[in-house]
A and B are shown apart, each in its own frame.
Chain A
Amino acid sequence: MSKSIQSVQCEHLDKMDIVWDRPDTLIDVPMHYCPGCGHSVVHRLIMEVVQELNIQDITIGVAPVGCSVFSYNYMDVDMQEAAHGRATAVATGIKRVLPDKIIYSYQGDGDLAAIGTAETIHTINRGENIVMIFVNNGIYGMTGGQMAPTTLKGSVTSTTPTGRDLSIHGHPLNIAEMIAILPGAYYVTRQAVNSAKTVRKTKKALLRGFKNQIDGKGGVSFIEVVSNCPSGWKMTPLQSNKWLDDNMLGTYPLGDIKVPEKIA
């Protein structure tokens, strides 16, 4: 194989520390996601947290219907794949019969904030001691880029060919703010994965969420991750991450929305 750009070699790797490596809990297979898709990053972060907290043996995840439907092929924990929108009902069923296990649900915006809105609200309202991970890419990625409840005003999708018209399609749904008022919501935060900095913060948020559950804190730890969908947005990965910064975060500002006083 000939190479036009020479890659740099290192002679003394043995004298260096490995400061970052793929977590063992992330199954070593190529993921099916489009290049640059944030789902992959969120999967990896969850598995980093599972590994660091040493809870692989007691963790059960629930996959949604959406692009991340196959997430059990990557996250090396026991998993159940739920019907579209019902991940938190399934998670409830699991947590209620196995209260000592660590349960998380993983959902897209169509799954969590459209078809599954009732389950979302009531799971949180019951204060299930689980982690809910919400990947908000403002679009229906899996079905080919249709409008999601979180799609921004004016955004062109395959079902809003002239852009989302608020008078016809309603408004982008800020579900995190909505559910934060529920007593069953213990910790609500909105993060992103479009830069190293935001990835670090998302990791911290996930860590906090899982720790909450381990500590048996009453209520849901709700971690929204504003993410991209290069394919659905019809952008390159780099453009999508920039667009996320410039557009998504105006409607979905990052940061903690509800933090329990003791850990604030």
Chain B
Amino acid sequence: MKKRVSEKILMKGNEAIAEAAIRAGVKAYFGYPITPQSELLEYMSAQLNSRGGVFLQAESEVAAINMVYGAAGCGERVMTSTSSPGFSLMQEGISYIASAELPCLLVNVQRGGPGLGTIQPAQSDYFQAVKGGGHGDYNLIVLAPNSVQEMANFTYLGFDLADQYRTPVLILADGALGQMMEPVVFPDYDIVKNKVDHSSWATRGKKDGKQHVITTLHIEPEKMEIINNHLQEKYRDICDKEIRFEATKTDDAEILLIAYGLSSRIAHHALELARDEGLKVGLFRPITLYPFPYRQIRALTKKVDSILTVEMNAGQMVEDVRLAVGEKVPVHFYGRTGGVIPQPEEILEKIRAISIAPQMEKIF
């Protein structure tokens, strides 16, 4: 049989996530239509039921995330996907899922906000994604792909991390990555080998004589704190082991661009334009937004003169960059909002300005 591994398929990012999820053995998908992620939901509706899973269109994102809670509580691989307003609606449920330590994959194909906003790509849900998002002390593992290929790869990775840490994992994409078509190769994936056995805690009927309960209520504060301490310990473990990033031309860089997802691609283009002009520019791309590569960015401040963070929002990740950098080097920001995509030339303009006057502008 011809190996499918090397087969290149031209696909939208949204579809690549769906296809990868099915290949990763997703048992159930619950979702609600919203642009610009609907292709994911539609792909699932066409494929999942005939490929060993369950597709269900929920009546709302609120229902969808609580269906995820129920199915994940049975120890099955489950996921949902949405875009910004829908992700806001899911926050209560995600907080429950994090507290109950249920593994699942979440996808937010961001669009411009606030409010109903636009359907164009944005990165303005960064804070919501990396700082918990809902109520209580919790975090999601947040993966930020910047290509259709990575949309697929991070779907496998997301399920595996979710299983490994019993925690919800979020793929934070945007409308452009969801909609763009690129060739994608689906790697070999052994569902049986990779699936973690959750039978010791999942609710599947009281088979082993022990009652399994999924709950997030722990009336006594001392008990709740024990749960919190356990969660925090898990997050520390994740921060120790799961930081992922990509550094491009950072060795001789004087100006360091920091960008993730779609804006990292644009920043990369700007880097090339700047290098053509002889400007020594590098690019650091956080792949995990949580855990955030604070230490790795801090280490680079020994080499570079200044930093420019590029985002499709009014300045969110830049706060984490400033946290990492402190006063070591000036941190600049360039962003467009509301669904407007920054152009490489605009970034180049900013790079040029920084190369002349690298000191930091006033933040407030």
Contacts and interface: CB of A to CB of B under 8 A. Distances in A.
Interface stretch (A68-76, A214-222, A254-262): A68-76
Interface stretch (A91-99, A144-152, A158-166, A204-212): A91-99
A139 interface: no
A58 B204 CA distance: 7
A70 B206 CA distance: 18
Contacts of B207: 57
Contact of B66 (A76, A89, A98): A89
Interface string B54-68: 101011101110111
Interface centre among A58, A76, A93 (most CB of B within 10 A): A93
B58 to A, nearest CB: 7
Nearest to B214: A80
A72 B215 contact: yes
A90 B204 contact: no
Contacts of A60: 74, 203-205
A67 to B, nearest CB: 12
B28 interface: yes
Contact of A57 (B59, B64, B73, B205): B205
Contacts of A57: 205-207
Nearest to A102: B205
Interface in B34-82: 54, 56, 58-60, 62-64, 66-74, 76, 78
A126 B241 CA distance: 43
Contacts of A98: 74, 204-205
Nearest to A61: B203
B217 A119 contact: no
A62 B96 contact: no
B54 A83 contact: no
Contact of B217 (A58, A70, A101): A70
A83 B203 contact: no
A89 B62 contact: yes
A92 B205 contact: no
Interface residues of A, number: 33
Contacts of A72: 211, 213, 215
A63 B215 CA distance: 9
B92 interface: yes
Given A60-B205, A81-B216, A81-B217, A90 B59 contact: no
Nearest to B64: A89
Interface string B159-176: 000000000000000000
A82 B93 CA distance: 9
Contacts of A56: 206
Given A80-B214, A118-B59, A97 B28 contact: yes
A78 B70 contact: no
A122 interface: yes
Interface in B186-238: 203-207, 211-217
Nearest to A25: B206
Chain A: interface secondary structure?
helix
B156 interface: no
B204 A92 contact: no
A191 to B, nearest CB: 26
Interface string A86-127: 100111111011100100000000000000001101100000
Given A90-B67, A97-B27, A98-B74, A78 B206 contact: yes
Interface centre among B66, B71, B92 (most CB of A within 10 A): B66
Contacts of B30: 93
Interface in A41-78: 56-60, 62-63, 69-70, 72, 76-78
Nearest to A72: B213
A70 B216 CA distance: 11
A94 B74 contact: yes
A54 to B, nearest CB: 12
B66 A90 contact: yes
Contacts of B62: 86, 89, 118-119
A80 B69 CA distance: 9
Contacts of A86: 62-63, 66, 69, 93
A97 B25 CA distance: 13
A72 B210 CA distance: 13
A77 B205 CA distance: 7
Interface string B273-313: 00000000000000000000000000000000000000000
B213 A93 contact: no
18 contacts: A57-B206, A78-B205, A78-B212, A79-B213, A80-B69, A80-B73, A91-B70, A93-B30, A93-B66, A93-B68, A93-B69, A93-B74, A94-B70, A96-B67, A97-B27, A97-B28, A98-B204, A122-B59
Interface of B: 27-28, 30, 54, 56, 58-60, 62-64, 66-74, 76, 78, 92-93, 96, 203-207, 211-217
Given A62-B70, A72-B215, 9 more contacts: A59-B206, A76-B211, A78-B204, A79-B215, A80-B213, A81-B217, A93-B74, A97-B78, A101-B204
6 nearest A-B pairs in the assembled complex, by CB-CB distance: A93-B70, A93-B67, A90-B70, A89-B66, A86-B66, A78-B203
